[in-house]
Every structure is written in C-alpha cells, then in structure tokens.
Amino acid sequence: MGVRLKTYHDALDFLYARTTGKWKLGLERVQELLRTLGDPHLQLRALHVAGTNGKGSVCATLDAVLRARGLRVARYTSPHLINFPERFLVDGVSVSSERIVEWVDRWTPDVERLGATFFEATTAMAFQFFAEAGVDVAVIETGLGGRLDATNVLAPLVAGVTNIQIDHVEYLGATREEIAFEKAGIFKPGVPAIVGEPDADIRALLVAHAHGHGATPVRAVYDEAALSEVTVTADETRFVARTARGEREVRTPLVGRHQASNALVALAMLEALPDDLRPDDATVERGLARVRLPGRFQRVGKHVFDVAHNPDGARVLARTLEEARLPRPLAAVFSVLHDKDWASMMAALAPRVDRFIVTNAPTAPASRAWNVIDVLAHARAQGWEAEVVRDFDRALARADEEGATVLVTGSFHTVGDAMSRLQVSPTAG
C-alpha cells in the first residue's frame, strides 16, 4: 500500500514532485492509470474545450448555463490561482482537501508504478471525483495542446476549440498551423466539433482537421454567426449575436470584447448538445448573467487581476483596459515566466500602463524566473516608465502608491500570489 500520507501538504508535495519541469505528453500513462481506477472517464458525459486563449471563459460559461438548466455540473480547469482544489468544481464548489488526501493515499503506488506526471494524476483524480459525484455533465479544459493532452482520453458529447495563437512552441510547434494540428486533436468521430477561430485561414484549417477526424457536424462559429453592437464597460460585455437561429441580445459579466467571442463559442457548444441537456434561450440568458471567472479582468476595488501570459492575451487585456476606461494613472505589477514572450507583452500593454513594477512572483518556479534587470533595461530602452521591486509584497505596495488603478498580470502565479497576499478571494469582485 505504500507510505501512509498524513496531511494535505503531504499529498500536494507528492503530486508536485511529479512535475519534472518538462511536460511529458502522451496518453498511454493516463489511460493505464484510469484503467486501474475503473475507467471513470467512460462514465462522464463531457464537453471538451481546447484553444490558446479563452478556454477558461468558455468553460465557466458552459458551467453557469448548464447549472441554470438545473443540472449537476463538474468543471476541471488548470492551473489554479490560490488553492489546488480550485481545479475540481462540482456545482461551483471545490472538492475537499480531505478527498484529495484520500485519493493520493490510495493511488500513490499506481501513480509511481506508471510514472504518471502531475497533470496525468490530477486529470485521473478529476475524472474519478466527478464520476463518484454522479454529475450530469462535466466541463473539461485541456491542459496543454489537445492531441496528446491527458484529458484527450474522453469521448465527449461536444468538442470545441476557441482560437489558435503562438504559445508553448517547444511542445506544440512554432507556427499557428502546427499548433492548430495539436489543438484539433480533441475532435472525435461522430462528435460535434465547434471551431471558434476568427481568422479565416486558420479556421479553414481547423475545419479540415475536424472533418479529417470524422467529427460531425462541424460548425465554424464565424462562418455561421456574427457579432455586432459590442459594448464593453468596467462591469460587463453586451452584444448582439446573429446566428442561424436568429438574432439575440447577449450580456455577460465577463469583461472585454474577446468575451463576446468566447460567449459565442460557448453558445454554439450548448446548441450542439443532446436534447436532454440543451438549454432554452431563457436558461441561457439566466446562466450567462451568473458567469464568474477568477483572474480574468477581475476588479476588486482599485485592483484588476488578469492572468494574461502571452502576447495575444496581453493585446486583449490592453484593449479591454482601454474600453473599460478605468482611472489613471495605471500601475502594473508585472511578472512573467522567462520562457514567455514578455517583450511583446510589455509592448502591447505599454500604451495603457503608466508604470511597470517589475518583480518575480514567489510561487513561480525558480527555473522559469525571468531576469528583472534585463526586463528593466528593455523597458527603459523603449521609453517606458518602469522600476524593479524584487520583494513581491513591496511591489504590491509600490503599485498601490503609484496607481489610481493597479493591474496585476503576467501569469497565474502573479495573480494568485497577489490575491493571496491581499486576502482577495478568487470569487470576489
């Protein structure tokens, strides 16, 4: 049976020790682990979501609408902001830490025997939790890519891809075309495929991949629908969606023009569900009004928390800051992992940020910490106001001194660490 784990921290230490610093993609280990668990994933009616950006927003929207439908809904996402159990939600409530300890304690020998990674173990854990909870439907977000992602053992009811941008090039490829191939790997024979990519060329490529995988029907959102009258405020996004079903006015508490696109993808996935799960228009409206997603333009007082961590995410964040018209000056607590394109992120944000407070998030892996001196030199060479504050708590205090609005961004680590220190709940706002 192995060594008996005594505490929650023991369990987390065991799981994080499965993180090698490099992703080990492939399905063989997770398939064998799930087989050992009794194949709980085969008991789930699931919606599967991949894409570079927007996955979390689509998953949160699906969750909220399906719960408004009166269904018992699970949601698996990653990474977490503050607490590990945030990854596993059943009807919006995190799985207990005690349940996590029990799982690790029971299955440690098998995880070790199979050499399962952190994400493979947590994915198997999620599927078992959700099957045991008897949920009506599970909303599942990919971790990295799609084709070889541990979640891709699912046989979903619907699969959706949000968009394709350059990210994780060491695993997914250096071009959007290569990345599209990996993301499209979640499409399955006979399963409805929803393509949410706005760029026509990449959209056509994803559609071709979906047909190649035998998905049916294949729906390209932007070939069938259009957005108009998009209005963004500091508190919500409103727009008119024109689809084959007609015209409808839509409101979501998620802030930003991009959230209109994410909502459109979620609506298409909901429409593709079987009759016994598909919500009517009134339920959709009720569910949309209830969507909450921590760390995505989440405003708490003068602070804005946003987990943008690649250039496209930073561009979207910059546009949202412009449209939300928050008070200036704006000071940004900015910490990015070194293997991200932080220079492009800074360039995107610079027109909206009056001062960058450059720091390192405490929970960011030391192996992925950026060189703050190089960042400062780059910022000053571009003529941007910036300073290095190595102590994270002091960086937060410094931004508060400098800004009428304080933006915290750059990674999940940055946002989660700031929320923890400022005693902000992920559900606040």
pLDDT digits (tens, 9 = 90+) for 23-45: 677 899 999 999 999 999 999 99
Mean pLDDT of 126-146: 96
pLDDT at 31: 98
Q: Which residue has the tokens 């995410």?
A: 313
Are residue 307 and residue 214 in the same domain, yes or no?
Answer: no
CA–CA distance, 186 with 269 (Å, rounded to integer): 14
Spatial distance between the Cα atoms of 127 and 83, rounded to a whole number of angstroms:
19
Given a cut of 70, is residue 427 above it in pLDDT?
A: no
Angstrom distance (rounded) from CA 75 to CA 63: 7
Q: Say yes or no: 306 and 243 in one domain.
A: no
> Exposure pattern of 284-318 as b/e (b: 16+ CB <10 Å)?
bbbbbebbbbbbbbbbeebbbbbbbbbbbbbbbbb
Query: Is there a single domain that holds both residue 192 and residue 336?
Result: no
Contact criterion met (CB below 8 Å) for 293 and 254: yes
Element (H, E) at 119: helix 118-133
Q: Is 3 part of any domain?
A: no
Given a contact cutoff of 8 angstroms between Cβ atoms, the answer to whether 287 and 389 are in contact is no
pLDDT for the residue 1: 43
H helix or E strand, kind and range, residue 299: strand 298-300
Q: What global pTM score does this model have?
A: 0.91
pLDDT at 173 over 80: no
Q: Which residue, of 236, 267, 288, is where some domain finishes?
A: 288
Average pLDDT over residues 74-97: 95
Q: Using omega within 30 degrees of 0 as the cis cutoff, is the peptide bond preceding 279 cis?
A: no
Q: Are residues 129 and 269 in the same domain?
A: yes
Count of domains for the chain = 2
Residue at token pair 């610093």 = 21
Model confidence at 167, in pLDDT bands (50, 70, 90)? low
* Structure token pair of residue 48: 């599967």
Q: What is the structure's pLDDT at 428?
A: 59
Residue 322 has pLDDT above 80, yes or no: yes
380 pLDDT tier (thresholds 50, 70, 90): very high
Is there a single domain that holds both residue 307 and residue 267?
A: no
pLDDT one-digit tens code per residue, 176-214: 888 899 899 999 999 999 999 999 999 999 999 999 999
Q: Find the mean pLDDT for residues 346-353.
A: 98
pLDDT recorded at residue 12: 94
| Strands 237-243, 226-232: pairing kind | antiparallel
CA distance 96 to 340: 33
| Token pair in block for residue 114 | 């199979």
Instruction: Give the structural domain span for 342.
Output: 298-422
